[in-house]
Amino acid sequence: MGKTIIEKILQAHTKDEVKPDRLIEADIDLAFANDITAPLAIEDFKLMGAKKVFDPEKVALIPDHFTPNKDIKSAEQAKLVKEFAKEYGIKHYFEVGRGGIEHVLLHEEGLTLPGDVIIGADSHSCTYGALGCFATGVGSTDLAAAWALGKLWFKVPRTMKFIYHGKLKRWVGGKDIILFTIGQIGVDGALYRAMEFSGDVIRELPMDDRFTICNMVIEAGGKCGVIEPDEKTIEYLNGRAKRNYRIFKSDPDAEYEKIYEWDLSELEPQVAMPHSPANVKGVSQLRGVKVDQVVIGSCTNGRLRDLAIAAEILKGKKVHPDVRVIIFPGTQRVYKEALKLGYIETFIESGAAVSTPTCGPCLGGHMGVLAKGETCISTTNRNFIGRMGHKDSYVYLASPAVAAASAIAGEIASPEEVMKG
């Protein structure tokens, strides 16, 4: 019996025999954390008596959640992370103004590569599977151990395969595909499973959309997501990869726990309603839902292509007078490119606020917190009760296209409706 891409990657990083459900110890290629999770890992790292990190080139620290610092406590946490990076010679420390949101920044910097085993103390560390690697979130204690030892134990996940056929309609992209998928299988439909995405639709998707899909596998309970590398992956990495990498692909006779297969030719833009990423309907079924706030950005949809789509829809139009719109480029580099291409001017002229890269509004931290009774449509990844603010607020998840259209309409709307108008 052959092996899946995830099984092959793990086998290349361990002396143990890799089989589904078996515990193995695997070498780590990159171990990273942010300003919320790193302080806990630093505390445990020092408690265990570690004197140095296993490899300063394989550790990254990215202050992005409560930064720019929202209060004294967050400032102290960020200071602790900065001091740890300096003390232990961490090369990949990204200060505010020189980095961005971790799950947009690290692959942009060429630090996450095909064939890698990557861990991050953040649940959306699964994003990098779009490059054809094993990437998953871990707890801060596990991260501390990996910093000290350069390895960590894993239970080998069983793999589920998702095959998508057809040709996507205009305005349908990666966010719609993953929302549709979660809507089909539920928030625990892939519990501790590797989700392997394939088919004609995936091969046609640009890298930005692939990152979006893998970013949200955790919302289906997945351990990791993965897309086999192809010519688009290699093109993305050319001039970007910081080191050599190795490409793995699943064997034709690899064993999958379950295979899902869908034709997406008729799929319309998807929206997840409160209070679950699995509570999904087509945008046409949600006409008339008024919104108070629109958020475009985050580690799910803060890349250049996302901003390009939003700018195309907002160009020459005005945000509805009852709506506030906040746009967060994923990194400083994305911000700079969007500025050059005129997207930022388009956003500001439409009546939107444009922020420095931060995770703030996604987790209800700062710069976009919702009041009681307010409704937001957001390109972020979670809409649980109280996720973006008050427990009696409401969050709908959608693509940048639907979010931008809703900003103009003042209610949930499809891009087609707004563009025709």
Mean pLDDT of the chain: 97
Residues 256 and 356 occupy one common structural domain: no
Q: Which of 203, 227, 261 is the C-terminal boundary of a domain?
A: 261
Domain of residue 33: give its range. 5-261
Q: Which of 236, 261, 286 is the C-terminal boundary of a domain?
A: 261
pLDDT at position 309, please?
98
Whole-number percent of the chain with pLDDT over 90: 99
Is residue 56's pLDDT more than 90?
yes
- Residue 420: pLDDT band (50, 70, 90) is confident
Chain segment 215-259, per-residue pLDDT in tens: 999 999 999 999 999 999 999 999 999 999 999 999 999 999 999
Rounded to an integer, the average pLDDT of 401-410 is: 98
pLDDT at position 1, please?
81
Residues 88 and 29 occupy one common structural domain: yes
Residues 80 and 212 occupy one common structural domain: yes
Report the number of distinct structural domains present in the chain: 2
Chain segment 343-398, per-residue pLDDT in tens: 999 999 999 999 999 999 999 999 999 999 999 999 999 999 999 999 999 999 99
Chain segment 97-119, per-residue pLDDT in tens: 999 999 999 999 999 999 999 99
Chain segment 303-319, per-residue pLDDT in tens: 999 999 999 999 999 99
Q: Which of 261, 291, 306 is the C-terminal boundary of a domain?
A: 261
Residues 358 and 400 occupy one common structural domain: yes
The strands making up 92-93's β-sheet, listed across from edge to edge, are: 92-93, 59-62, 30-34, 117-120, 134-137
Residues 95 and 233 occupy one common structural domain: yes
Neighbours of 371 (CB within 10 A): 11
Chain segment 335-345, per-residue pLDDT in tens: 999 999 999 99
Residues 103 and 224 occupy one common structural domain: yes
0.95 exceeded by the pTM? yes
Is residue 331's pLDDT more than 80?
yes
Is residue 421's pLDDT more than 70?
no
Residues 292 and 257 occupy one common structural domain: no
Residues 135 and 35 occupy one common structural domain: yes
Q: List the CATH number of the domain containing 104.
A: 3.30.499.10
Residues 253 and 278 occupy one common structural domain: no
Chain segment 157-204, per-residue pLDDT in tens: 999 999 999 999 999 999 999 999 999 999 999 999 999 999 999 999
pLDDT at position 31, please?
98
Residues 64 and 208 occupy one common structural domain: yes
Residues 247 and 315 occupy one common structural domain: no
Residues 214 and 299 occupy one common structural domain: no
- Residue 82: pLDDT band (50, 70, 90) is very high
